[in-house]
Amino acid sequence: MEPSELVARVDFDEDLTEEEAEQHTRDLVLLLEDLDVDEVGMAEGSAAAGTRSADPALLAGAVVVAGAILKPVLAALVTLLGQWIEQSGQRSVTVEYGDAKVTVKGRVATKDVEAYVRALSEGRKLQGAAEDGA
């Protein structure tokens, strides 16, 4: 059975304040709400080591995307994350989907989106950087 939830974790620039990290996380949530999924929201729970959060009940930089079937929207998710990283100036976003993890480090070329989706679907790890002219 496919996982029905994924977590996207932002790797913020080191000089970002807690408030800026929270605002960037909220901006990412708003962007991802356009996906065809049941729910998008900031992750809740106790802050993990190394994460920043003005409210310990919210994890700045962690976004949960939930839906009955996420696989069809993974390509749009990867594309949106790449665009968001480029616009926000953040370092990367790691997507955890079941046992799989992929790290998006900038705009993802159209020809590479399928590799990210395949890695997520097949439970493999993949890291990629933005390509010039993508």
CATH of 5-129, one of 4.10.51, 3.30.70, 2.30.30, 1.10.10: 3.30.70
pTM: 0.80
pLDDT confidence band for 43 (50 / 70 / 90): confident
- pLDDT band at residue 1, thresholds of 50, 70 and 90? low
Contact 120/96 with Cβ under 8 angstroms? no
Q: Specify the DSSP class assigned to residue 48.
A: P
Task: Say if CB 18 and CB 52 are below 8 A apart.
Answer: yes
Helices 74-88 and 110-122: crossing angle, nearest 10°?
120
**Extents of the domains making up the chain:** 5-129
Q: Which residue has the higher pLDDT, 31 or 133?
A: 31
Compute the mean pLDDT over every residue in the chain, rounded to the nearest whole number. 82
Predicted pLDDT at 4: 85
